[in-house]
Structure 1
Amino acid sequence: MTEQLFRDDAYLRECAATVIAADERGITLDRTVFYPTGGGQPGDTGTIRLADGGEIAIVDTVKAPTPDGILHIPAPGSTLPAAGSAVVAAIDWERRHRHMRMHTCMHLVCAIVPGAVTGGQVGADRSRLDFDIPGEALDKAVLTEKLNALVAADHPVASTWITDAEMAERPELVRTMSVKPPSGQGRVRLLDIAGVDLQPCGGTHVQRTGEIGRVEIAKIENKGRQNRRVVIAFA
């Protein structure tokens, strides 16, 4: 089990940790600030700094097969640290922060585009959301204007938790058809953009929508009779 510090504070850039194990699959720490790939958000990259001054470049972060386990994937050819070693885990903050801004922005897009989400991918420069929208025409300029109005309104963003049972009783909270809420551990994390959007999400986010900065709907594509792909980019 790895203590997931990013769940309580997405702004932590590094943390002291102890190596639990290290093998060809990756490095497991007792605690981490690294977000693992999931929910359409890429895993963090960064470094693991050793007590002797050495560094291991981390090129990806993924979930381990064990419950709450996280694997930090080292660059090929890295010398792995011994179990029990004291280290400092540090993320590439600029990349992570762009993911946070984009991920929160995607929730705003969900608030202005009708229909269920059928897929999505967070990116550092561009992101996409696919919507099931039968016969619905979407206008890039109109959506861009609405989106930036929500950004400029600087709505507060916060995480709350509900039980699995409460989640089961509120199916209207689920906007995604392709990804189920992260339930099964007793509680589900909700992202609440005050007065704008409320839905299950385990990703990392900014604290206010104003932090996102100006964005634009770069492209709208037809991906099937009812599927519309909306591409979001930083302006």
Structure 2
Amino acid sequence: MTEPLFCKDAYLQESYGTVTGHTPEGGVILDRTIFYATGGGQPGDSGWLDWAGRTLPIATAIKGEGAEIILVPSEPAALPPIGADVTQRLDWMRRHRHMRVHTALHLLSVVIPLPVTGGSIGSDKGRLDFKMDEPPADKQALEEALNALIERDLVVSDDWISDAQLLANPTIVKTMSVMPPTGQGRVRLVRIGQGADQVDLQPCGGTHVARTSEIGRIRFGKIEKKGRDNRRVTILLD
């Protein structure tokens, strides 16, 4: 398995690791990694591996078998050998923008409290699809409400519950199309706000900022009709 260091510290930009395998397609598997693997609408991280005076650009990271994370090079190149110790470096600006957008989308699901049917995260914008019969009457009011939550500088933290606890409390799952992965014995929850200031709690395996003020100002983009009772809401980093 690959230890996902990003789960413990989303701000870790550089770390060591040891190569444990290669894939037939030319991917690299490490014993531990700071690279987030594509999933939950969030793209895999990019960056670099350094070893023995050489550098390998990494285009993305994807999930492999079991708990493996595969680092995919930007182009065919010589790979660090199995057993080699490497230094991992993230394209931090890109990752941090993903963190800002991802946390903003959690807050979007607060100001639009409707079932979520899909979503996607980018480095400049993100979107959620909602089960929504009619478009919002006042898009500007929603934008103002979202930015008011951001400006409250709420703490973003995580916690873990068992699979059984999740099944006993299904209302915390906002996505209709994708259920959180179970079978590992526990599920990660992301909480925004604490105590009386808590505004959101939902299962999520992605990376997030530590406080909502770090997101910065958000602008609403298009609200598009996607099917009979679906609306796609896009937000952009200002």
Question: What TM-score bracket applies, with the shorter chain setting the length?
Answer: over 0.9
TM-score using structure 2 length? 0.95
> Who is 2:223 aligned against?
220
Question: Aligned partners of 1:217, 1:183: CA distance in 2, in Å?
Answer: 33
> Who is 2:50 aligned against?
49
> Who is 2:63 aligned against?
63
Runs of 4+ in 1 over 3 A off after TM superposition: none
Q: CA deviation at 1:23?
A: 3.4
Secondary structure at the aligned position of 1:55 is classed as strand
Secondary structure at the aligned position of 1:35 is classed as coil
Mind listing any 5+ residue stretches in structure 1 that lack a counterpart? none
Contact 2:135 2:223 in 1 (8 A): no
1:170-210 alpha-carbon deviations (Å, 9 max, x no partner): 01000001111121100000000011110000000001000
1:87-141 alpha-carbon deviations (Å, 9 max, x no partner): 0111100000000010000000000103110000001001110000133534321
% identical aligned pairs: 51
Query: For residues 167-182 of structure 1, what are the structure 2 equivalents within 5 Å?
Result: 167-182=166-181
Q: CA deviation at 1:14?
A: 1.3
Range moving further from structure 2, 124-133 or 215-224: 215-224
Query: For residues 123-202 of structure 1, what are the structure 2 equivalents within 5 Å?
Result: 123-135=122-134, 137-194=136-193, 195-202=198-205
Q: AA paired with 1:9? A: D
What is the total number of aligned residue pairs between the two structures? 233
> Who is 2:93 aligned against?
94
Contact 1:18 1:31 in 2 (8 A): yes
Question: Aligned partners of 1:138, 1:204: CA distance in 2, in Å?
Answer: 32
1:21-76 alpha-carbon deviations (Å, 9 max, x no partner): 123331000000000000000000000011x2110000010000x21100000122
1:2 to 2:2 alignment: yes
